[in-house]
Amino acid sequence: MSTAEWEALPETVKTFMTALDSQEFDRALATFTSDAVVTDDGRDHAGTEEIEAWLATAATGYTYTAEFSGASTTDRGVDVGQHLEGDFPGGVVDLNYRFTLDGAVISRLVIEP
């Protein structure tokens, strides 16, 4: 495992993170394989249609700011930390985004505190 700065992250990961934060959902969706799985809040969202529905609701329910807090790479993928503050329950949370890549696209994403 090695520590990575934002600039050193795979382009796909940076594209997803910036697209999610700016609510560019088509751009975010384009970073996934057609059979990708996203696990968020303990629930799986599998395939393009479910991930698209998750994107449309996950980031739009609240207003928040997100700040990159670090990343690490392993032979299996990339882990990205983000610090969020907003009007969601609790108001502050540190999330870990664990990406598994299939070439240049995301095949698996797990989001958890």
Total domains, the chain: 1
The more confidently predicted of residues 107 and 4 is 107
Digit-coded pLDDT (tens) for 41-95: 899 999 999 999 999 887 677 888 999 999 998 877 999 999 999 998 899 999 9
CATH number at residue 84: 3.10.450.50
Q: Residue 59's pLDDT is what?
A: 67
Q: Residue 63's pLDDT is what?
A: 86
| Integer CA distances (angstroms), 82 to 33, 53, 85, 103, in order | 23, 22, 10, 24
Q: How far apart are CA 82 and CA 20, in angstroms?
A: 12
Examine the pLDDT at 111 and tell me if it is beyond 80: yes
Of 73, 59, 71, nearest in space to 101 by CA: 73
Range of the domain at 94: 2-112
Q: Residue 94's pLDDT is what?
A: 96
